[in-house]
Chain A
Amino acid sequence: MQQTTTIDRAGSPGFFPPARRASRRSMIAALVVGTLLVLLPVPELLRANGILELPGRGLYGQSNLNAAADTGVFVLLALGLNIVVGYAGLLDLGYAAFFAIGTYSYAILASSLFQFHVPFWIMLFASGLITALFGVAFGAPTLRLRGDYLAIVTLGFGEIVPTFILNLKDLTNGTDGIAGIDKPAIGSFVIGAGNDNIAFYYLALILAVGMIFVVNRLRDSRIGRAWMAIREDELAAASMGINTTLTKLLAFGLGAGISGFAGTFYGAHLGFASPDQFSFSQSVLILCMVILGGMGNLWGVILGAVVIYLLQTVILIQLNNWLNDLGRTIHFDPLINLNLSANIFFIYGTILVLFMLFRPEGLLPSNRRRAELHPETAAISEAERQEIYDTREAGQADPDTKGGT
């Protein structure tokens, strides 16, 4: 009953669509956020050049720009893992392994270790490709496994890769890690020369925006819809003629490739690679971002990555300092000695459990997942209505229609 009304209203031409308002709203939001992101380093730029006198601590400052550039890395990682977990529904608990392969590919081929100095711009895609090949090689025999077995196998892979990095000393320099990784350069301009994070920040922003565009287009493509079909019902997807093994492999390989891409930037930005950066905790951290934000929703996982990374590097530390100060003022020892960062994984663990129990769709869920998890709420029909309207409105852009004509 509800469904028929939904379609009728969405289809009637005189109906002023809520979707239109929503999309205008989101465009304004995107514009505001985009402007803020572009302008973020300006205060620091002015301060560094002595134009403006600003107090030493604030949202600007090199260390915060540093964190902002690394946030870009985690946005890329969350986008990549979202393809695997969110779109294709394959739980990958060893995603950090691919990140490690990407970072080490760049670290080995562009540092003073072997005196190879392959340019960053080539390696950005080359290590993405290398990592994707690892993903395919690892995925090919294992992707036939059922969900929870696959999770464990990927976890095993996530443990094996750091073990190899640790033990293949001739190639990776073992526990010492690889230092002095090349910084990206455009002609004679070296990004991040003199420990300046402004250029790195913009590079991260460009890479992240580019990747958002690519993933967004992928999601709406034939492959993207095949991923979601497999996630919803593998058997049904196979009966519709989707080659499930190949499609899953593609998700796995692309997800891995994106983390290789991110790893290259990460290595260049940090200038250092060591095996302990890629532990199981790192995989869980990225998974946490995807789940917190909203599995399967592009904007959701970006939000998740930003929130969690900033929580870890900026907010928690500030909060901790503030609480310690408060403890000193009121002479309360537990507050003085409080160290929130030491308990960061308690917070992540709690996020995982609480979100699974109370909001499994995440902060910004995709419409489909929300509808699946809360079929009883009225908000869903609204969302569905928008989706249907969007499809009709888009008309020619809709691949289904295009295929038919």
Chain B
Amino acid sequence: MRVNPNVMPDLLAALEQSQEQQQNALLELASSRRINQPSDDPGGAALLAQIRDQSSLADSFLRSAGSVSGQLQMADSALSSVVETLQRAISLGIEGGTSTASDSDRAAIANEVSGLRDQMVSLANLSYQGRYVFAGTAVAQPFVLDPNVASGIRYTGNAGVNSVEIGNGFRVQVNQPGSEIFNAAGADVFQAIQDLSTALQTNTGIDNAVIAVRKAFDCVTQKRVFYGNSIQQIESQKNYLNSAKLQLGQQENTVAAADMMAVASHLINAQNARNATLAAIGKTSQLSLFDYLR
């Protein structure tokens, strides 16, 4: 068998190959990613697209959870003030109902109770970032003064509720219609306050009026539980989303990150191979028999 006398093309091809390996390793090192284009690992690249989608979804859930939780906290603290106000009304009613209270005392107390009502209306018309929190899904100011209504306050909102998705398929209700909180049947906050004020002025049925306010107080306290629960749910969902994001990040790393040690050793290997080939080319004797003939 005759030996291939011309080895240069082979050496050049080897040189080209080691150079390509070197470039690939350098690209991986520079980007610190194993997958720079789909052909680097088709399955990995496809998986990566899904991971990125999930991670972007988790990001958007987190943002939504943040703004929803702000709104719920605002509503909760407003209701806490409502509860305090009702408590004040109850103690005022009890004070006015004692036998020692004079007419002028009761008139003063009745006056204060009326003031509490105004305070309550302003709490019920709370707005968060320009939206009325207790208007259902309506957008206008929900509680307006209206002398034609018994309680003097009319609800103009609706009974709609909104839910926001803060997890895959996990929706959290973000509002309760004001009518359910303030105008519950038999426990209308404004009516109770109005009645208490009237009872104090007329000194009749004060005890019953206080009982009605107490009912309203119970109703609002009960409704307030919803906000506390929701906030807690959102907080735990936020924790979950954060850990999910962390996990997705880790998963992305596993799929796409370059194994630096391995890449560095690839690079060194490629460089060694290249140096060896270069040395081989340099040393490959270009001498032939001709050089030995005189």
Same complex: no
Q: Identify the A interface with B (CB < 8 A).
A: none
